[in-house]
Structure 1
Amino acid sequence: MFEGDRKRMHLGRYPSMSLAEAREVHGKALADVERGVDPGAVAREAKRARKAAPTFGELLDELWDIELRHKKSGAETRRLMDHDVTPAWGKRRVQDITRRDVVLLLDSIRARAPITANRVHGALGRAFNFAAERGIIVDSPCTRIRKPVEKPRERVLTDDEIRAFWRGLDSIDVYPATRLALRLILVTGQRPGEVAGMRWAEVADDWWTVPPERMKNGLEHGVPLVATALDLLEQARDFPGGDEYVFASSRGGGKKPITVRSLARSVTRHCEEMGIASRFTPHDLRRTLRTRLAELGVDDVVAEKVLGHQLQGILKVYNRHDYAAEKRAALLAWERRLRGILGLEGGKRKVVPLAGFKG
C-alpha cells in the first residue's frame, strides 16, 4: 500500500534473480514506503534514466534494430564490435566514453591487427554519430582521431604459386565446398563474399546472375560461366544439404552458406603447406585474375565489367552496354591461360575435371 492505493511491484524473474536478492529488493521497497517514497516511481525513474543514458551494449542493440540489420554489411559490423569492443565497453555508459578511451582501445587492437583497427575505427565512428543523432551524447568522441592510411594490397600470384595453390588444395585438410569456392574465385574473379553466398537459383545454363542485394554496388551482375567454372559447380552438386546454396556450410543442415572468414582461414592456415611462402588472401585471387586480364590484352573497361565494377565518369551515365559477349571472351581467354599454367594446354572445348588434377 502507498498513500491508500494497493500497488504491485515487479521484482525480477527466477532464477536470474535469486530469492535472497528478491527479499533484499522487497525490503528496500518497504523502507521507501515507510519514508513516504513511492518505490514504483523510483523504479520508473531508474528505467527512464537507463534509457536516457544507455550502456555501449544497449547502444549497439539500438543501432542494430534501427540500422545495421538492414545493411548487407550490418552482421559483419556487429560481429566486429561484439568481438573487439563489447568486452571492454559493453557495460559502460556511452556518455562516459572519452576520446582517450577510443584511442587506447584502437591502439590495443592495432598492435595485433592493424587492418581490423581501421575497421573498428570506422564502426565506432558510425556508432557514436548514431548516439549523437539519437540525443544520447552531444558529440562523438571519435572526432579528430585520424585513421592511418591503408597501403593498397598488391599481392598477385605468380604462375608457380597458381599451380601450387590449385594442386595444393587437393592435399590439405579443408572442407570440400571451401576448396571449390576458392577455385571459383580464381576462375571467375568474383568477390569472396559473392562466391561464398552463391545460390543455385542464381545459376541458369552458363550464366550466374548475382542479385543487387548481394553486390557491393547494389547492381545486378552477370557472370559468364566457362567450362572450368561449370565443372566446379557440377562437383558442388554432389555435396549433401546444398539445395539452396552452392557452397553450403557443414553446419545448420545446409541451410547456410560457407563464410568469407572460413575461406580466409583455409588460405592463411595452409598457405605454407601448399608450398606458397608469401601469404595471400582469397581477395588476392580476384586481383590475380584482374592483373592477368590486363596481361592478356583485355580492355580495361571489359576487365572492370568482369569484376562487377561500375564504369566511372561520363561512361557511367551514357554507356549502357551490358558487355556480355566481351566478358565471356575475356574469361575464356583467362581460362585458356589458366589451363596453360596448370599444364592442360590443347584439346577440344569441354568440361575438364581440373579439381582432381594431380600433375
Structure 2
Amino acid sequence: MIWLEQVKAASLGELDNFGDEGTVEQVMKVWVKLSLLISRRRPEIAVSSLLKHVLPGIGSQPLKNLTRLRLNRLYNILIAEGKKEEARRVFALTKQFLAWAEMQGYLDHSPIASMKKRDVAGRASPPRSRQLSDAEIWVFWHGLDNWALSEQARWALRLCLVSARRPDEIVQAQKAEFDLQLELWKQGTRNKSQREHVLPISPLMHQCIEALLQAADPDSPWLVPAPRDPQQPLSKGALNQALRRMIRAPRGLGLETFTPRDLRRTARSKLSALDTPNDVARKIMNHALEGIDRVYDTHDYLSQMRIAMNRFSAAVEQIIACESYHQLQHRYEGETLLLDERAIMAMAR
C-alpha cells in the first residue's frame, strides 16, 4: 500500500508542514503517523477503507470546512449500496480521526462528535451464531467431493473446519509454515491478533495439508496458490464464493446458509462439547486469555492443544465415517436433518 508506506517513511516535519489550514488528507497523514500506526495492530485495514471511501471524496477539502452533511453523504453512498457494515466502519474511523484533530487543535469542533454508530444505517446486526450440526458436517464434507471444485478450494474449506482457522489465514499460509515431522503449524504473527501462534497439526489437518501440497504448484511458496498465478495466494474471497455457490444452487448442499467463518465457530463449539478447558480452547483459537492471566500466564499450552485437536479430529473422523447423515444428530437429540430431494447429498431413509 504505497500511501501508507509513504506515511511511514516520512518524518513528522515533512507531514506536518501545512500551517493552520490543512486539507483532510494532509491532517489525516499526521493522524496515521502519530496515532493509527501506534494504536492499531493492522493499520492497513483502516487505511484501505479511508483510501477507498473517504479521501477520494473529501481528501482535498480544507479540514475546517468539513460539515456533518458532507460526511453523511459519504456514509449514505455506502448505505444505498447495501454496505451497512462498511458505512459504520467508515463512520467510526472518521469520528476517531476528527476527535483527534479537535484534540490536537487542527479543528475547532468535530461536526460528528454527537453522532453514534447507531445513527448510521440503524443498529448493527447481531453477531452470527451459525454452527453446523454433526449431520451438516457430514453433508458439507462429502458434498465437497460431489461438486465441481478445484482441489485447492475443496481441501482448504475442509482445513477451515478441522484447524479452526479463519479462511484468510489458510489462503495466506506459506508452505514453509508447516512442519509435518513435528506436526506443527508455525503461523507466527500472521493472524488477526498479530500474536505469535503455533498450532499442533491433528491427523485430519495433516490429511488436508498433504492434499493441498500435492495440488499446489511445486514452485509456489503458497499452500493454496492462485490457479492463474501460482506466485500469488488464492484470493481471500474465493472460498466464500465457492461455498456460496454450493449452498445457493438448486442441486447444491441443501443446507441453511453458512460461511467459512461459521466453520471456525463450529470447531470452537465442538471443542466445548468435547470438554476442552476454556483456556486451551482460547489458545487454539488464538484469542487472548482473560483477566490477569493474559499478563502472567505465558505457557504455550502446546501439549494440551495437541490433545484437544486430536480429540476434535477423531470426533470429525467419526462423523464423516458414518454411512449417512441420517445416522447423526442434527440440532437436538432425536432430530434428523431433512434435505431437499434435489440436494446432491439427499438420501432416502
Q: Could you say whether these structures have the same fold, taking a TM-score greater than 0.5 normalized by the shorter chain as the test?
A: yes
* Structure 2 portions without partners, runs of 5+: 1-16, 324-344
**Which one of 104, 110, 114 corresponds to residue 84 of structure 2?**
114
Change (3 A) 1:170 1:115: farther
Query: What do residues 51-99 of structure 1 show as CA deviations (whole Å, max 9, x unaligned)?
Result: 943255x666676777768966333333333443455435544433322
Change (3 A) 1:262 1:143: farther
Is it true that 1:263 corresponds to 2:239 in the alignment? Answer: yes
Change (3 A) 1:272 1:242: farther
Query: What do residues 189-248 of structure 1 show as CA deviations (whole Å, max 9, x unaligned)?
Result: 122232222122221231002212x23333211111112211222222231166322122
Which one is further off, 333-342 or 166-175? 166-175
Is it true that 1:248 corresponds to 2:218 in the alignment? Answer: no
Instruction: Verify the 8 A CA contact 2:21 2:63 in the aligned structure 1.
Output: no
**Structure 1 vs Structure 2: percent identity of aligned residues?**
26
Cα shift at 1:107 = 4.0
Q: Which has the larger radius of gyration?
A: 1
Question: Match of 1:280?
Answer: 258
CA RMSD of aligned residues (A): 3.3
Change (3 A) 1:93 1:257: farther
Question: Match of 1:26?
Answer: none
Change (3 A) 1:139 1:243: farther
Question: Match of 1:100?
Answer: 69
Query: What do residues 131-176 of structure 1 show as CA deviations (whole Å, max 9, x unaligned)?
Result: 5577653443342221136422211112233233223334445554
Is it true that 1:187 corresponds to 2:162 in the alignment? Answer: yes
Instruction: Verify the 8 A CA contact 1:68 1:75 in the aligned structure 2.
Output: no
Letter in 2 for 1:210: Q
Cα shift at 1:292 = 1.0
Q: TM-score, normalised by structure 1?
A: 0.70
Which one is further off, 103-112 or 286-295? 103-112
**Which one of 292, 299, 305 corresponds to residue 283 of structure 2?**
305
Question: Match of 2:307?
Answer: 329
Instruction: Verify the 8 A CA contact 1:132 1:140 in the aligned structure 2.
Output: yes
Alignment of 1:44-55 (within 5 A): 52-54=21-23
Question: Match of 1:39?
Answer: none
Letter in 1 for 2:107: I
Instruction: Verify the 8 A CA contact 1:165 1:276 in the aligned structure 2.
Output: no
**Partner Cα separation in structure 2 for residue 51 and residue 184 of structure 1:** 54
Change (3 A) 1:98 1:208: same
SS of corresponding position for 1:338: helix
**Partner Cα separation in structure 1 for residue 32 and residue 151 of structure 2:** 34
**Partner Cα separation in structure 2 for residue 174 and residue 137 of structure 1:** 54
Change (3 A) 1:80 1:318: closer
Change (3 A) 1:331 1:78: same
Change (3 A) 1:320 1:63: closer
Cα shift at 1:130 = 5.7
**Partner Cα separation in structure 2 for residue 301 and residue 261 of structure 1:** 31
SS of corresponding position for 2:185: strand
**Partner Cα separation in structure 1 for residue 230 and residue 64 of structure 2:** 43
Alignment of 1:96-245 (within 5 A): 96-111=65-80, 112-129=82-99, 131-132=101-102, 136-148=106-118, 150=124, 151-204=126-179, 205=181, 206-212=183-189, 214-238=190-214, 239-240=216-217, 243-245=220-222
Letter in 1 for 2:115: I
Change (3 A) 1:121 1:270: farther
Question: Match of 2:342?
Answer: none
**Partner Cα separation in structure 2 for residue 62 and residue 266 of structure 1:** 41
Change (3 A) 1:318 1:65: closer
Which one is further off, 234-243 or 326-335? 234-243
Change (3 A) 1:85 1:270: farther
**Partner Cα separation in structure 2 for residue 183 and residue 209 of structure 1:** 19
Q: TM-score, normalised by structure 2?
A: 0.72
Change (3 A) 1:65 1:245: farther
**Partner Cα separation in structure 2 for residue 245 and residue 125 of structure 1:** 38
Letter in 2 for 1:231: Q
SS of corresponding position for 2:261: helix
Letter in 2 for 1:343: A
RCO higher in structure (CA 8 A, sep ≥6): 2
Instruction: Verify the 8 A CA contact 1:268 1:281 in the aligned structure 2.
Output: yes
Instruction: Verify the 8 A CA contact 2:178 2:185 in the aligned structure 1.
Output: yes
Cα shift at 1:343 = 2.4
Is it true that 1:79 corresponds to 2:43 in the alignment? Answer: no
SS of corresponding position for 1:237: helix
